[in-house]
Amino acid sequence: MLLAKINNKFSFLTETEQKIASYILEHPAQATSLTAKELATLCDTVPSAVIRFCKSIEVSGFAELKLILARETAEKEKTETLPAFHKEDDNETIFRKVFTSGIRTLKDSLAMLDFDTINNVVTTLGSARNVYIFGIGTSSTVALDAGYRFSQFGIPAHACTDQLFMNVIAGNMNSDDVAFCISHSGQTKAVVNALRRSKEAGATTISLTSFADSLLSKESDYSLSVYADEINYPVEAVSARVAHICVIDALMMALGTRQGNDFEKHIAVRNEVLKDIRY
């Protein structure tokens, strides 16, 4: 998904490239009929900047960019699209926009995932002595959920959401351990530092972020990135959290199903525990 990729990389582009990206994100259909020179003029820059922009978003050239854009805009016309939020929106409209954005976020995130990386992540998690899951702020709830989910299948998973505790744990890890670092921005100092300490200690590192060009993504051994609707959402990480939780759930099921007969045993244990806490 080209538009999702542009959105994902937006914060890491140069100021000039952001002007080009903004035009394409706001006018994708119109961009397909422009020349590189015409797009450059509209963005108050030069054609060579358009070519550099294409390289920054990992497209071979402007011709390929227009070809992909044309296909995506044609497909988008077939699906429901809603504008950004406005103060005049009533409650029903807001709910429809939130759900529509959530659906779009999941579809775009699925399209962005690299399944070679997913396969390596599942194997790594399944063979780890301990999995330490780091996350603070809005990512702390995702980290806690991941710890609970993975533990259901006998994986020794531990959620760490305190900054001091994270650094102590990270510094005492070894090559049999895995650091699973979750951050919407991928730039959160505490989580990036925990990842770095974990690597220094010899642990394998996995990251889950909303930006593929973030520090966390670049420095981890295995990086998973989802799509975040930062343009329509005025509150950070609202739509991304949906995708992060879905990635965790999918990893949980992948880990569970690869266990064979042990899968049913773990589910039975969980169900017995749940009986004791429910009426």
Classify residue 86: in a domain, yes or no.
no
What's the pLDDT band for 273 if we cut at 50, 70, 90?
Answer: confident
Residues 6+ apart with CB under 8 A from 82: 96, 97, 100, 101
What secondary structure letter does DSSP report for 153?
A: T
Using alpha carbons, select from 73, 80, 61, 59 the residue that is nearest to residue 5.
Answer: 59
Comparison of pLDDT for 198 and 227, the residue scoring more: 198
**125 with 262, same domain?**
yes
Asked if residue 232 has pLDDT above 70, the reply is no
pLDDT of 265 = 75
**116 with 244, same domain?**
yes
Return the minimum-mean-pLDDT range out of 27-31, 70-74, 124-128, 156-160: 70-74
What's the pLDDT band for 236 if we cut at 50, 70, 90?
Answer: low
**264 with 140, same domain?**
yes
The token duo for 152 is 């259901």
**134 with 252, same domain?**
yes
**70 with 152, same domain?**
no
Task: Judge contact between 194 and 181, C-beta under 8 A.
Answer: yes
Domain coverage including residue 21: 2-78
Comparison of pLDDT for 88 and 270, the residue scoring more: 88
Classify residue 94: in a domain, yes or no.
no
Domain boundary among 34, 53, 78: 78
Q: What is the mean pLDDT of the chain?
A: 88
CATH of the domain at 136: 3.40.50.10490
**207 with 120, same domain?**
yes
Number of structural domains found in the chain? 2
Distances (CA, A) of 37 to 28, 54, 58, 86, 102: 16, 14, 20, 35, 36
Asked if residue 79 has pLDDT above 70, the reply is no
**116 with 68, same domain?**
no
Task: Judge contact between 117 and 223, C-beta under 8 A.
Answer: yes
pLDDT of 234 = 53
pLDDT of 122 = 95
pLDDT in tens, 11-47: 889 999 999 999 998 888 899 989 999 999 999 999 9
Classify residue 48: in a domain, yes or no.
yes
Classify residue 107: in a domain, yes or no.
no
CATH of the domain at 20: 1.10.10.10
Asked if residue 83 has pLDDT above 90, the reply is no
